[in-house]
Amino acid sequence: MPRRRNDCVAPAPMILTFRKALRSFSRDPGLTSHVDYPIDLPNIKKSELICLSRPMIIFWLCFFFTFSVNTLTLADSGAYRLRAGDTIEISVAGVSEMRQRFVLDLDGQISVPLGGVLRAEGSTIGELRDILQRILPARAFRTTGSEGQDVQRVIESQDIAVNIVDYSPVYINGDVVKPGEQRFRPNMTVRQAVALAGGYEVMRYHLVDPVIQSADLGADYETLWTEQAREQARLARLKAQLSNEAQLGTGAAESTPVSNQLQSDLVNNESQQLALWHSDFDKEMAFLTRATKSATDQLAELVEQRDKEKEGAAADSAELERLSAFNKQGDVTSNRVVDARRAMLLSSTRVLQTEEQIVQITREREGYIRRIEKLKDEGRSAILKEVEESQLRLAAINARIAATADKMVYTSTMRSQLPISKLGGPSVIIIRGDRENRSNTEASEDSVLEPGDVIEISIIPKIKLTEKQG
């Protein structure tokens, strides 16, 4: 069939290629400003070139239009207004140096090159883009060309793009595994924030399961009551020792978890210790009393012996004087005088020895008496100190019993509140707004969050817990 003149002819494969510049149809700065087209041109007719390039031009036009519409939709979707902490990106098509990110400061402002300080808080992305499109096109700047030369360029309004890179984070606190900051994502719900925080934490204030801890607290509670019963029995024994009574005092019976058998065993044990103490004390007192009596009797004998020896020494001294007088008259020999003098010296020596024994026995007797007094005084002082320590231990045990009882009440409450479904779900409060205008709103797990929200999670709703306690 003969070929008509306007028919398109497929070109023969060639090696020669060239670059054809095509202006971007999108204002997104991420798109490149020119595209490479491999086309073989030698000996191709003008009509054939038009037929070849037309489908490609239509394809690229559709692609750029679709991408631009999608980009515009993401940038301007909703009526979200910027707030402090948001991160935005401002770029100019074809100028990589003008692509910069800015974080809104506490005052909601950003500092834009060639634009100065702008207040972005409270504006939408579209409004901020309109502001930049009015300011920046009036600015000229120098940039480096492809060959390294300085090129002066004027920004065109359609080349400016503004996008949100990151939103202000949300904060979750309360009964979750990992409370803290969470990155905000569009259409983020409370349920998703809880999932990112590791899920619900039933025992935020405990390290173990409430069922296990309840059993441990029950064992501790009974142990503390046993310690209290033992300390009370010990205190009764100390008071009996202090008053020198042979039996333990019986106080008013209290209702305790301790069995009667255990209490009886504790009392019998302390009674036996009291009996042993009395036995040791009585033996020590009896020994010291006997030693004192023995020293007193021995002292009386020595005093009597000393008196007799003093009489003998006086007689020997008188005999010596009489014989000495007779010796001077020549009636008595010198030997008898010497014997009398020896007898007198012997009697005096015996008197001195007896006096020394009397002093020694007197000292021993006083030592025994002092030991008796010391035994009473030191024993009483030691008992008073033990009574004080026992009372302090008893007070500490009573305080621990009260604290353990409170823990048991709380743990039993936690056990009863474990099934969340029975309580209708967790309590969720969203704190929203800026520093000047904040609001607390009760929400559900499916509530949609906004950037900067603070979420308070309570696994036990306070209202229902109050009703249950009442």
Q: Give the model confidence (pLDDT) of 433-446 as tens digits.
A: 776 778 888 888 88
**Percent share of the chain, pLDDT over 70:** 71
List, as own/partner pairs, every contact residues 393-398 make where C-beta atoms lie below 8 angstroms and the sequence separation is at least 24, other chains included: 393/231, 394/228, 394/231, 394/232, 394/235, 397/224, 397/227, 397/228, 397/231, 398/228
Q: Which pLDDT does position 330 carry in this prediction?
A: 79
Residue 72 confidence (pLDDT) above 50: no
Residue 154 confidence (pLDDT) above 50: yes
Greater confidence (333 vs 240) lies with: 240
d(CA 388, CA 396): 12
CA-wise closest residue to 188 among 208, 170, 211, 215: 170
427: number of Cβ within 10 Å: 21
Dihedral sign computed on CA atoms, order 452, 455, 456, 461: positive
Provide the CB-side half-sphere exposure for 453 (13 A, CA): 25
Q: Give bridge partners of residue 181 from the DSSP assignment.
A: 171
Residue 407 confidence (pLDDT) above 60: yes
Which H/E stretch holds residue 456? strand 454-458
State mean pLDDT over 71-94.
69
Residue 249 confidence (pLDDT) above 50: yes
d(CA 111, CA 102): 8
**Sequence-ordered list of residues with C-beta below 8 angstroms from that of 158, at least 6 positions apart, any chain:** 27, 133
The separation between the first and the last C-alpha atoms of the chain, rounded to the nearest angstrom, is 100
Lowest-confidence pick of 10-24, 86-100, 230-244, 343-357: 10-24
State mean pLDDT over 177-181.
89
Contact 120/82 with Cβ under 8 angstroms?
yes
d(CA 204, CA 186): 29
Residue 50 confidence (pLDDT) above 60: no
Mean pLDDT of the chain: 76
d(CA 120, CA 109): 5
- Model confidence at 140, in pLDDT bands (50, 70, 90)? low
Residue 11 confidence (pLDDT) above 50: no
- Model confidence at 393, in pLDDT bands (50, 70, 90)? very high
Dihedral sign computed on CA atoms, order 60, 61, 67, 71: positive
**Residue 346 backbone dihedrals phi, psi, to 5 degrees:** -65, -40
Contact 458/441 with Cβ under 8 angstroms?
no
d(CA 449, CA 168): 11
Provide the CB-side half-sphere exposure for 373 (13 A, CA): 6
d(CA 135, CA 306): 133
3-class state of residue 209 by DSSP: coil
- Model confidence at 39, in pLDDT bands (50, 70, 90)? very low
Greater confidence (134 vs 275) lies with: 275
- Model confidence at 138, in pLDDT bands (50, 70, 90)? low
- Model confidence at 392, in pLDDT bands (50, 70, 90)? very high
Contact 32/24 with Cβ under 8 angstroms?
yes
Please write the tens of the pLDDT for every residue from 412-433.
766 655 554 444 567 899 988 7
State mean pLDDT over 82-104.
82
- Model confidence at 98, in pLDDT bands (50, 70, 90)? confident
Greater confidence (464 vs 137) lies with: 137
Greater confidence (66 vs 149) lies with: 149
d(CA 340, CA 357): 26
Q: In this structure, which amino acid lies at residue 111? A: S
- Angle between the N-to-C axes of helices 210-242 and 260-329, in degrees from 0 to 180, rounded to the nearest 10: 30
Lowest-confidence pick of 2-6, 350-354, 435-439, 447-451: 2-6
- Model confidence at 210, in pLDDT bands (50, 70, 90)? low
CA-wise closest residue to 75 among 24, 6, 42, 29: 29
Greater confidence (142 vs 169) lies with: 169
